[in-house]
Amino acid sequence: MAVMASARFRAKVLEVASGLTSDRDCAAAVAVNASPLLAWLEGAADEDDMRARWRAMFQHHLNTMYEPRDDNPDRFLSQVRTLYAFMTAGQGG
């Protein structure tokens, strides 16, 4: 069962998406990049899993915040999934 992200998590996803977006002044461009990030976050099994997904997403955001923006949320999520797997190894999530 999917979990709905709170307004707080949605705002945080917009922050991360802004870091991916080359035209950060364009709200529509940020929202387009945020959409797959939010979908992955809301694919969590429960609230604990959502928090683990967020931690992985935020960690990768920190890892890449000084890299050029490429408007590629799929590439970003690919790396986030790797961190998520590492962070949740042995936890069943």
Please state the three-class secondary structure of 26-74 as a single string: CHHHHHHHHHHHHHHHHCCCCHHHHHHHHHHHHHHHHHHCCCCCCCCHH
Confidence (pTM): 0.90
Model pLDDT for residues 45-59, shown as the tens digit of each residue = 999 999 999 999 999
Backbone angles phi, psi at 2, to 5 degrees: -75, 155
Listed as ranges, residues in the chain with pLDDT below 50 are 93
Q: What is the pLDDT of residue 10?
A: 95
Q: Which two tokens stand for residue 5?
A: 């992200």
Per-residue pLDDT at 68: 87
